[in-house]
Amino acid sequence: MTEDNRPKFSTKFGVIAATVGSAVGLGNIWRFPYEAGAHGGGAFLLVNLICVVLIGIPVVCAEFLMGRSSRRNIFGAMSSLAPRGGKWWRLAGFLGVASGTLILSFYAVVAGWTLEYLFQSVTGNLTAAGVRESHTEFSAFTAGWRCVFWTVVLLAINAMVVLRGVQKGIEKASNLMMPLLFVLLIVMAVNSLLLPGADTGLRFLFSPDFSQMNSATILSALGQAFFSLSVGLGTLTVYGSYFPADTRIVRSASIMAGLDTMVAIIAGVIIFPAVFSFGMEPAAGPQLIFEVLPDIFSQMAGGAVWSTLFFLLLLIASLTSTISLTEVGVAFCVERWHMSRPKALAATIGFVTFFGIFCALSFGPLSSLTVSGMTIFDIFDYVTSNIFLPLGGMLVSIFVGWIVDSATVDYELRPAPRFLRGMIVFLLRYLCPLAILAVFINNLLG
């Protein structure tokens, strides 16, 4: 609990900008709208908000306090905070590092798609004349080498930011990108609200239809809350280790979760009015972003401008997330093997680029290379998202709730009121592991 020479965020705004940036990503702007669209809109949103408060915030607090109390990455945190004889918890810490690095390998591919679509928007070439044409263009792009090119470019941008360190790189980039992201969100939302028939989209998003409330809705909303906040990956533990001593963990976790959820809701305000205004299907699935929306933009007045702003928004959200995922591997290499930051970054980016290229090629030249019908990209996605991530989050909850010394937990959660500190520990011990286990089992059976 003492200060050391570890780099730290220099301002309170930097803490919020970096942690919110770590959480805000394609899950907010890409995954949330189609999950809401497939599960009744307002009903899904209501359950999601409850899950964020009861599950998301406690687990975020757990990762933050692990990082700040140990001043280490998730592997080092679990190694040092576990009592004697708890060496097996090191494996749980290594799982977090592996999850973050492997997720980055395929996430960088999807993030690279946003670079392609931003480039096409800026050059005026994103002029699809129908969803079918959008689908054809998207399939042709992902099956070619341009997909690999943009993946490498995206990782190179990450490397340039992370190489500059915590304050001059991660914090400075977050301080710039997060305000810009919120400005773009507001501008895009205002435009969508001015479209004819926008009220239909808003009613769909904000009017709960309780007839749609079933176990699938609840599990989907819980999964969205969990995945959107990026818990179980080690990113929040690493960022927590960069917190100044006076950072209030509970307040920071609440602000982060609130802003992360706000981004997802505003993304819904952007997308659903546009979807209903142009007669599209709100439950279109993942292709909503790269196939349905380009067709909508092509029908809008000034469509090239709006598509450029939207894919710039996606790119910023992608970068803030991938930067934090890159830092997980870098921090591990620096602390575990005492590498210099440049060497640790080269090792991390080299590893991720190698597997990222294979993931990118799985839509084209390597599409026939499958296991149980899954391509390389699908395997990375399935194993990390459905097994590693929920398992990691469940272990973090159990570790902080039951294993870490209770005096350490109580100290790190101050100055939050005693009742609130006790409630967070109770949720981490009982509700969070069981809820995450339900998501875990649902993912495996689904």
In one-letter notation, the amino acid at residue 144 is G
Segment 329-362, tens digit of pLDDT: 999 999 999 999 999 999 999 999 999 999 999 9
Give pLDDT, residue 285. 55
CA distance 411 to 400: 13
Judge whether residue 286 has pLDDT over 70. Answer: no
Give pLDDT, residue 287. 66
Of the pLDDT bands very low, low, confident and very high (cuts 50, 70, 90), residue 3 is very low
Of the pLDDT bands very low, low, confident and very high (cuts 50, 70, 90), residue 127 is low
Judge whether residue 274 has pLDDT over 70. Answer: yes
Give pLDDT, residue 1. 42
17 Cα distance to chain centroid: 14
Of the pLDDT bands very low, low, confident and very high (cuts 50, 70, 90), residue 221 is confident
CA distance 43 to 203: 11
129-139 mean pLDDT:
76
Of the pLDDT bands very low, low, confident and very high (cuts 50, 70, 90), residue 284 is low
4-32 mean pLDDT:
90
Q: Say which residue, 286 or 329, is predicted with more confidence.
A: 329
Judge whether residue 207 has pLDDT over 90. Answer: no
Judge whether residue 131 has pLDDT over 80. Answer: no
Give pLDDT, residue 300. 82
Of the pLDDT bands very low, low, confident and very high (cuts 50, 70, 90), residue 72 is very high
Kindly provide the b/e burial profile for residues 153-186, where b requires at least 16 CB atoms within 10 angstroms of the residue's own CB. bbbebbbebbbeebeebbbbbbbebbeebbebbe
Give pLDDT, residue 2. 43
363-369 mean pLDDT:
95
Judge whether residue 259 has pLDDT over 70. Answer: yes
Segment 147-188, tens digit of pLDDT: 999 999 999 999 999 999 999 999 999 999 999 999 999 999
Does the pTM surpass 0.85? The reply is yes
| Domain annotation for the chain: domains and CATH numbers | 12-445 (1.20.1740.10)
